[in-house]
Amino acid sequence: IWGRACAELEQSVGPNNYNHWIKPLRLTSIEDGAARLASPTRFISDWVNRHFAKEIVSVLNRAGAEVERLRFEIGAPAARLREDAPAEAAPADDAPAAAPARTERAAPATTRAPRAELGAPLDPRYTFSNFVVGKPNELAHAAARRVGEGGPVGFNPLFLYGGVGLGKTHLMHAIAHDFQARHPVAQVLYLSAEQFMYRFVQALRESTIMDFKGMFRNVNMLMVDDVQFIAGKDSTQEEFFHTFNALVDQGKQIVISADRAPAEIKGLEERIKSRLSCGLIVDLHPTTYELRLGILQSKTDSFRAQQPDVEIGAGVLEFLAHRISTNVRVLEGALQRLFAHASLLRREITLELAQECLADILRTNDRKVSIDDIQRKVAEHYNIRLADLIGPKRARNVARPRQIAMYLAKQMTSRSLPEIGRRFGGRDHTTIMHGVRKIDELMVEDTSLAEDVAVLKRLLEA
């Protein structure tokens, strides 16, 4: 039966796939509707299971076997070898292969998500239609759409970066969904850099590195999320570099995300940085009030579709968009919590309810003041132009407010002195330190200055 099935499989999956993946397998038994296949490595069986299980089951059925699913045994060929040629001893470092065959967990041929194990599963909610576009993300969105359409996009890789919760993972999943829908037989592989490392280490441990390479080089699109994770991990970086190059050479599209631009990722090899920079680099900017409101409106619509009895009062979404940080995940979580409370308490979602049940989120968010906010408020308070506050003028009437703004930036944000320096027209961190100390000292004597600073702080915290 297996011989006949193989001949047919060679036709249906093509000689390359057949030689690489199917030929190493042996059919050892058929019991209770399960065909037992012996595979020399788990990588091969995983791959076959994900890509060819359905095909094998139907070919076996056509060949006259009653089969519903496949079961894989790892290392069984070694057992066969022992029978066929007992003299052929397994090499010492290959001991696991000679061990009694382990039966892998049953794998129903039809219910497995494709590539679920090599890659990470895709969230069905992360689609383009659920992604709200605004100024801060429109470029990233446009680039992602282009890649999702497939075809020559003119840049490889697409490198998306931005802070936590700004939609990088959402966009990557959306690309994968879109591309897969347009190219049903294409192999789209999405995984985090952490999973990439884990797979790689596992392949090293199990001496299946060739299979590992084979699988990664066989995909049509590779997406690696949060690539900053492999910084400082030398052998993983090395493998990533080669995988990357092999795919780019074959014209396969790559999409990468990170929390910052390639050049800013410490511990990432220079050659990888330069490779990553060859394509299109786009960043997702922190959300604006308008975008947050748009996202809240869209999420509210989908929550309301499921919980039509929940009413949402006027001004609540605006309040949330104002008071909750730029991280969309936090925004979403807040709205979800409001809906849950309102539904349980059978209350309308009002401003009071929002304040009550989101107290923790709103409070932590209160402390988040941006350097921009500080500069604007200080300039306004002293009635000077923002450009002068940041610019080089040394006149006392701008220099002192500038130092106050530096002081507040140091006190109220978590930014480092060099970062603050950059935001004050590229000043050196020692200048910032000097400004901060100066205000600290002056406030001891000068009560009206201290009062000014306190007022500004209260304004910024409001």
Please report whether residue 170 would count as binding ligand ADP according to CB under 6 A.
yes
Stretch that binds ligand ADP, among 21-29, 49-57, 163-171, 186-194 (CB under 6 A): 163-171
Please report whether residue 137 would count as binding ligand ADP according to CB under 6 A.
yes
Nearest distance, CB of residue 169 and Mg ion, angstroms: 3
Span 166-185, contacts to Mg ion by CB under 5 A: 168-169
Nearest distance, CB of residue 164 and Mg ion, angstroms: 8
Dihedral class, residue 147 (left if φ above 0, else alpha if ψ from -120 to 50, else beta): alpha
Backbone φ and ψ for 145, nearest 5 degrees, come out as -60, -45
Query: Which of ligand ADP, Mg ion, none does 164 bind, CB closer than 5 to 8 A by kind?
Result: ligand ADP
Residue type, 160: L
Distance (Å, whole) CA 237 – CA 252: 19
Measured from the CB atom, is 37 or 175 closer to ligand ADP? Answer: 175
Nearest distance, CB of residue 132 and ligand ADP, angstroms: 4
What sign results for the dihedral spanned by CA atoms 349, 353, 357, 358? positive
Query: Which of ligand ADP, Mg ion, none does 131 bind, CB closer than 5 to 8 A by kind?
Result: ligand ADP
The token duo for 256 is: 């990468």
Please report whether residue 169 would count as binding ligand ADP according to CB under 6 A.
yes
Distance (Å, whole) CA 59 – CA 56: 5
| Contact characters 332-371, ligand ADP, x per CB under 6 A | x---------------------------------------
Rg of the chain over Cα atoms, rounded to whole angstroms, equals 29
Query: Which of Mg ion, ligand ADP, none does 165 bind, CB closer than 5 to 8 A by kind?
Result: ligand ADP
Backbone φ and ψ for 308, nearest 5 degrees, come out as -65, -15
Distance (Å, whole) CA 49 – CA 448: 75
Distances (CA, A) of 181 to 109, 185, 188, 223, 462: 21, 9, 11, 16, 48
DSSP reduced 3-state for 102: strand
Stretch that binds Mg ion, among 153-161, 165-173, 248-256, 436-444 (CB under 5 A): 165-173
Distance (Å, whole) CA 255 – CA 350: 42
Measured from the CB atom, is 332 or 373 closer to ligand ADP? Answer: 332
Measured from the CB atom, is 164 or 278 closer to ligand ADP? Answer: 164
- The two beta strands, 221-225 and 253-258, are parallel
Could you list the residues known to form a binding site, using ranges.
165, 167-169
Binding footprint of ligand ADP on the chain (CB under 6 A): 126, 130-132, 137, 162, 164-170, 295, 328-329, 332
Binding footprint of Mg ion on the chain (CB under 5 A): 168-169
